[in-house]
Structure 1
C-alpha cells in the first residue's frame, strides 16, 4: 500500500517527530511504500496564493506552485497526519497544506451548480491522524466538542474520499505526560499502523 505520512512540527526531536518515525518504521516493516512529507523540513509554504484563490471555482485550479504535493496526495491509498494540537486546532502549516492541496480537481470536484462536492481522492481508503494536546481529554471532548476530529472526519475526509476509514488517536495532557505514557502511545501507533 502507498502511504503518505504528513508531519507538522518544527522540532526534529519533538514527540510528533517520534510518532512519525514510529509510524514510518512500522509501515515499512509491513512492506508498505511510505512517502514521508515533513512539512517544515520541506519548507512548505502554507499561504494560499492569489492565483490559487482566484482559480478556486473556475474548473481549472492553479496547481503551478503545489503540483508535486497534489500528486503525492493523489497517489496515497492511506494518509496519516501527525501533528500537535495548538489552541484546539491544527498547526498553521498543516492547515495551509490542506487549504492548498485538498482543492478542486485534486481532492474533490464541484457539481454543475458549483455547490455540492464530489470526492476525488479515489485511491484513498484510510485517513488517520496521530495527535497530541496539552489539554485533558474531557476539555477537548466535552468543553470544546473535539473540533479537530470533527473537522478532519466530517469536513475533509468525508468530502474528499468515498468509504474512507477515518481514525484519530490523541495523547492528551502532553505537558504532564510521563516517558512511560509516551511509550504506551508509541506502542499504540505501532499496533494501529500494523493493521494496515
Structure 2
C-alpha cells in the first residue's frame, strides 16, 4: 500500500512534525511505502491566479506543481493530511493545495447534472486528516460549528467523491501534559502500523 502524506507546518520542532514522524514510523513498522509532500519546504504557492481560475472553468489545470501533486495522489492508496488548525481552519498552504489540486479534471469531475461530483481517483481507498489545535473539542464543535468538518471533510473530500475519510483531532495541545502528547503519538504510530 502506498501512502501519500501532505504535510503543512513551517516549524520542524512543532508537535505536527512529531505527528509526521509517528505516521512514518507506523508505516515503516508495517513495511509500507510512503511519500511526503512538505508544502512549506517545497515552497508551494497556494494562490489561485487568473490562469488557475480559467483552468478551473475549463477543467484543465495549469500549475505544474499542482499537476505533479495530483499525479502523486493518483498513485496513492491512502492520503494523509497533517496540519494545525489556525483561526478554526487550515493554514493557507493547505487551503491552496485543496484549491489547486482537488480540481476538476485532475481529481474529480462533474456528473451530467453539473452539480454532483465523481472521483477520478479509482486507486484511492481512504483519506485521513490529522489536525492539532488549542481549542477544546466541545468549544470547537458547538461554538465554531466543527468548521473543518463542514468545509474540508464533508464540503470537499466527501463531496468530490473520496471514500473512507477520517478526521483525527488533537485538541488543547499546548495545555495537556507531555505524557498525554506522547501517548497520542504512540496511538498514531500504532494506527499506521496496523493499516
Scaled by the length of structure 2, the TM-score of the pair is 0.93
Task: Name the CA distance, whole Å, in 1 between partners of 2:167 and 2:131.
Answer: 8
The equivalent residue for 2:172 is 173
Local SS of the residue matching 1:48: coil
Whether the 8 Å contact between 1:8 and 1:40 is mirrored in structure 2 is: yes
Task: Name the CA distance, whole Å, in 2 between partners of 1:161 and 1:126.
Answer: 11
The answer to which of 55-64 and 24-33 deviates more is: 55-64
| Unaligned residue ranges in structure 1 (runs of 5+) | none
Task: Name the CA distance, whole Å, in 2 between partners of 1:127 and 1:177.
Answer: 27
What does residue range 75-90 of structure 1 map to in structure 2 within 5 Å? 75-90=75-90
Whether the 8 Å contact between 1:124 and 1:161 is mirrored in structure 2 is: no
| Unaligned residue ranges in structure 2 (runs of 5+) | none
> How big is each residue's C-alpha offset from its partner over 1:107-141, in whole Å with a ceiling of 9 and x where there is no partner?
11123453321111211111101111111111111
What does residue range 18-57 of structure 1 map to in structure 2 within 5 Å? 18-57=18-57
Return closer, same or farther for 1:24/1:161 CA change in 2, 3 Å cut-off: farther
Local SS of the residue matching 2:174: helix
Local SS of the residue matching 1:129: strand
* Structure 1 moving runs of 4+ over 3 Å: none
Scaled by the length of structure 1, the TM-score of the pair is 0.93
The equivalent residue for 2:7 is 7
Whether the 8 Å contact between 1:122 and 1:161 is mirrored in structure 2 is: no
Whether the 8 Å contact between 1:6 and 1:39 is mirrored in structure 2 is: yes
Whether the 8 Å contact between 2:88 and 2:148 is mirrored in structure 1 is: yes
The equivalent residue for 2:92 is 92
Whether the 8 Å contact between 1:108 and 1:159 is mirrored in structure 2 is: no
| Number of positions where the alignment pairs a residue of Structure 1 with one of Structure 2 | 195
Q: CA RMSD in A?
A: 1.5
> How big is each residue's C-alpha offset from its partner over 1:134-157, in whole Å with a ceiling of 9 and x where there is no partner?
111111112212111232321122
Task: Name the CA distance, whole Å, in 2 between partners of 1:186 and 1:158.
Answer: 27
Whether the 8 Å contact between 1:89 and 1:148 is mirrored in structure 2 is: yes
Return closer, same or farther for 1:45/1:122 CA change in 2, 3 Å cut-off: same
Instruction: State the structure with bigger RCO (CA 8 A, min sep 6), 1 or 2.
Output: 2
